[in-house]
Copies of this chain bind each other. A is one copy, B any other.
Amino acid sequence: MEKVTVFDLIERMSALLRSEERKKCTEFGLQSVHLQILDYLSRCNKYSDTPAALTNYLGMTRGTVSQTLLLLEKKAYVSKATDSTDRRVVHLSLLPDGKAMLQQARQTELFDQAADLLARDKLSSYDEMLVSVLTALQKSNKSQSFGICKTCLYFTVSQDGYLCGLTREALTEDDSGKICQEHRVL
Protein backbone atom coordinates (compact mmCIF):
# COMPACT_ATOMS: atom_id res chain seq x y z
CA MET A 1 0.00 0.00 0.00
CA GLU A 2 1.26 3.47 -0.78
CA LYS A 3 1.99 5.84 2.04
CA VAL A 4 -0.62 8.29 0.82
CA THR A 5 -3.40 5.89 1.60
CA VAL A 6 -2.40 5.25 5.19
CA PHE A 7 -1.74 8.91 5.63
CA ASP A 8 -5.12 9.93 4.30
CA LEU A 9 -7.05 7.26 6.16
CA ILE A 10 -5.62 8.05 9.51
CA GLU A 11 -5.80 11.78 8.99
CA ARG A 12 -9.44 11.39 8.10
CA MET A 13 -10.17 9.35 11.19
CA SER A 14 -8.38 11.90 13.26
CA ALA A 15 -10.25 14.83 11.74
CA LEU A 16 -13.51 13.01 12.31
CA LEU A 17 -12.79 12.46 15.94
CA ARG A 18 -11.62 16.02 16.39
CA SER A 19 -14.88 17.31 15.00
CA GLU A 20 -16.94 15.01 17.20
CA GLU A 21 -14.93 16.06 20.17
CA ARG A 22 -15.45 19.73 19.48
CA LYS A 23 -19.19 19.24 19.36
CA LYS A 24 -19.17 17.32 22.61
CA CYS A 25 -17.10 20.03 24.23
CA THR A 26 -19.32 22.96 23.36
CA GLU A 27 -22.24 20.84 24.49
CA PHE A 28 -20.71 20.57 27.95
CA GLY A 29 -19.11 24.00 27.97
CA LEU A 30 -15.59 22.65 27.91
CA GLN A 31 -12.56 23.09 25.69
CA SER A 32 -11.16 20.13 23.83
CA VAL A 33 -7.94 20.39 25.78
CA HIS A 34 -9.85 19.91 28.99
CA LEU A 35 -11.37 16.73 27.73
CA GLN A 36 -8.04 15.48 26.50
CA ILE A 37 -6.53 16.12 29.89
CA LEU A 38 -9.32 14.37 31.75
CA ASP A 39 -9.07 11.48 29.34
CA TYR A 40 -5.34 11.25 29.77
CA LEU A 41 -5.58 11.31 33.53
CA SER A 42 -8.09 8.50 33.44
CA ARG A 43 -5.70 6.37 31.43
CA CYS A 44 -2.26 7.21 32.73
CA ASN A 45 -0.49 5.40 35.49
CA LYS A 46 1.06 6.74 38.63
CA TYR A 47 4.36 7.55 36.95
CA SER A 48 2.62 9.72 34.42
CA ASP A 49 0.10 11.79 36.31
CA THR A 50 2.17 14.96 36.46
CA PRO A 51 1.91 18.32 34.70
CA ALA A 52 5.21 17.63 32.98
CA ALA A 53 3.85 14.45 31.46
CA LEU A 54 0.80 16.30 30.25
CA THR A 55 3.05 18.90 28.70
CA ASN A 56 4.76 16.23 26.65
CA TYR A 57 1.61 14.34 25.86
CA LEU A 58 -0.32 17.33 24.61
CA GLY A 59 2.64 19.13 23.10
CA MET A 60 1.82 22.37 24.86
CA THR A 61 3.98 24.66 26.97
CA ARG A 62 4.28 24.25 30.71
CA GLY A 63 2.62 27.59 31.30
CA THR A 64 -0.44 26.69 29.32
CA VAL A 65 -0.78 23.35 31.04
CA SER A 66 -0.43 25.02 34.39
CA GLN A 67 -3.18 27.48 33.54
CA THR A 68 -5.52 24.83 32.27
CA LEU A 69 -4.95 22.71 35.35
CA LEU A 70 -5.74 25.69 37.54
CA LEU A 71 -9.07 25.95 35.78
CA LEU A 72 -9.81 22.23 36.03
CA GLU A 73 -8.93 22.40 39.70
CA LYS A 74 -11.33 25.28 40.23
CA LYS A 75 -14.08 23.24 38.62
CA ALA A 76 -13.25 20.39 40.99
CA TYR A 77 -12.41 18.02 38.15
CA VAL A 78 -8.86 17.31 39.23
CA SER A 79 -6.80 17.66 42.37
CA LYS A 80 -3.10 18.12 43.03
CA ALA A 81 -0.79 16.50 45.54
CA THR A 82 2.92 17.09 45.85
CA ASP A 83 5.13 14.06 45.61
CA SER A 84 6.41 12.77 48.95
CA THR A 85 9.98 12.18 47.86
CA ASP A 86 10.55 14.82 45.18
CA ARG A 87 8.85 17.96 46.42
CA ARG A 88 8.98 19.60 42.98
CA VAL A 89 6.69 17.03 41.46
CA VAL A 90 2.92 17.29 41.53
CA HIS A 91 0.63 14.30 41.12
CA LEU A 92 -2.76 14.86 39.53
CA SER A 93 -5.84 12.82 40.11
CA LEU A 94 -9.36 12.83 38.71
CA LEU A 95 -12.03 13.86 41.17
CA PRO A 96 -15.52 12.32 41.02
CA ASP A 97 -16.90 15.32 39.12
CA GLY A 98 -14.15 14.98 36.56
CA LYS A 99 -14.84 11.30 36.08
CA ALA A 100 -18.53 11.96 35.68
CA MET A 101 -17.89 14.65 33.10
CA LEU A 102 -15.54 12.39 31.17
CA GLN A 103 -18.06 9.61 31.25
CA GLN A 104 -20.67 11.86 29.70
CA ALA A 105 -18.40 13.46 27.16
CA ARG A 106 -16.72 10.37 25.80
CA GLN A 107 -17.67 9.63 22.26
CA THR A 108 -18.95 6.23 23.12
CA GLU A 109 -21.98 6.27 20.83
CA LEU A 110 -19.83 6.97 17.82
CA PHE A 111 -17.57 4.09 18.60
CA ASP A 112 -20.34 1.78 19.64
CA GLN A 113 -22.04 2.31 16.33
CA ALA A 114 -18.83 1.94 14.42
CA ALA A 115 -18.05 -1.29 16.23
CA ASP A 116 -21.50 -2.63 15.45
CA LEU A 117 -21.04 -1.90 11.79
CA LEU A 118 -17.62 -3.47 11.82
CA ALA A 119 -18.98 -6.58 13.45
CA ARG A 120 -21.30 -7.19 10.53
CA ASP A 121 -18.49 -7.36 8.03
CA LYS A 122 -16.49 -10.52 8.50
CA LEU A 123 -13.02 -9.08 8.81
CA SER A 124 -10.48 -11.12 10.67
CA SER A 125 -7.55 -9.88 12.70
CA TYR A 126 -7.99 -6.22 12.01
CA ASP A 127 -7.04 -5.44 15.54
CA GLU A 128 -3.51 -6.76 15.11
CA MET A 129 -3.60 -4.66 12.01
CA LEU A 130 -4.48 -1.46 13.82
CA VAL A 131 -2.12 -2.32 16.61
CA SER A 132 0.71 -2.57 14.15
CA VAL A 133 -0.27 0.69 12.54
CA LEU A 134 -0.34 2.40 15.88
CA THR A 135 2.89 0.82 17.01
CA ALA A 136 4.55 1.96 13.82
CA LEU A 137 3.34 5.47 14.46
CA GLN A 138 4.59 5.33 18.01
CA LYS A 139 7.99 4.13 16.85
CA SER A 140 8.14 6.99 14.39
CA ASN A 141 7.27 9.49 17.07
CA LYS A 142 10.50 8.55 18.77
CA SER A 143 10.55 11.06 21.58
CA GLN A 144 7.94 9.42 23.71
CA SER A 145 5.44 6.75 22.85
CA PHE A 146 3.03 7.08 25.76
CA GLY A 147 2.10 3.47 25.21
CA ILE A 148 0.18 1.03 27.37
CA CYS A 149 2.25 -0.25 30.26
CA LYS A 150 1.88 -3.93 29.45
CA THR A 151 3.21 -3.44 25.92
CA CYS A 152 6.37 -1.86 27.23
CA LEU A 153 9.92 -3.05 26.88
CA TYR A 154 10.33 -2.89 30.63
CA PHE A 155 7.16 -4.76 31.48
CA THR A 156 7.96 -8.11 33.04
CA VAL A 157 5.95 -10.96 34.52
CA SER A 158 7.44 -12.31 37.73
CA GLN A 159 6.34 -15.26 39.82
CA ASP A 160 4.10 -13.12 42.02
CA GLY A 161 2.60 -10.66 39.55
CA TYR A 162 3.77 -7.93 37.22
CA LEU A 163 6.88 -5.85 37.52
CA CYS A 164 8.24 -2.65 36.02
CA GLY A 165 11.80 -3.34 34.89
CA LEU A 166 12.64 0.33 35.06
CA THR A 167 11.44 1.27 38.52
CA ARG A 168 11.62 -2.28 39.90
CA GLU A 169 8.18 -1.79 41.38
CA ALA A 170 5.32 -4.26 41.46
CA LEU A 171 2.38 -3.44 39.24
CA THR A 172 -1.27 -4.28 39.60
CA GLU A 173 -3.36 -5.63 36.77
CA ASP A 174 -4.99 -2.22 36.69
CA ASP A 175 -1.68 -0.42 36.34
CA SER A 176 -0.55 -2.57 33.46
CA GLY A 177 -3.40 -1.41 31.24
CA LYS A 178 -2.69 2.30 31.53
CA ILE A 179 -0.60 4.77 29.58
CA CYS A 180 2.95 5.43 30.75
CA GLN A 181 5.23 8.28 29.84
CA GLU A 182 8.25 6.06 30.28
CA HIS A 183 6.90 3.56 27.81
CA ARG A 184 9.39 2.05 25.37
CA VAL A 185 8.26 0.17 22.33
CA LEU A 186 9.46 -3.41 22.14
Q: Hey, which bits of chain A sit against chain B, CB under 8 A?
A: 1, 3, 5-23, 26, 36, 39-40, 57-61, 108-115, 117-118, 121, 123, 126-127, 129-141, 146, 148
Contact = CB atoms under 8 A, between A and B. Distances in A.
Contact of A127 (B5, B21, B39): B5
B133 A1 contact: no
Contacts of A23: 59
Nearest to A6: B115
Nearest to A22: B59
Contacts of A134: 9, 12-13, 16
Contacts of A148: 8
A10 B13 contact: yes
B127 A140 contact: no
A109 to B, nearest CB: 8
Closest 8 pairs (CB-CB, A-B): A113-B140, A22-B59, A3-B115, A19-B59, A117-B136, A114-B136, A1-B127, A126-B129
A121 B12 CA distance: 24
A134 to B, nearest CB: 5
Contacts of A1: 118, 126-127
A175 to B, nearest CB: 16
Nearest to A58: B19
Given A14-B14, A118-B133, 19 more contacts: A3-B112, A6-B118, A7-B115, A9-B130, A9-B134, A12-B146, A14-B17, A16-B134, A16-B146, A18-B36, A19-B59, A22-B60, A110-B141, A113-B136, A114-B136, A121-B132, A126-B126, A126-B129, A126-B133
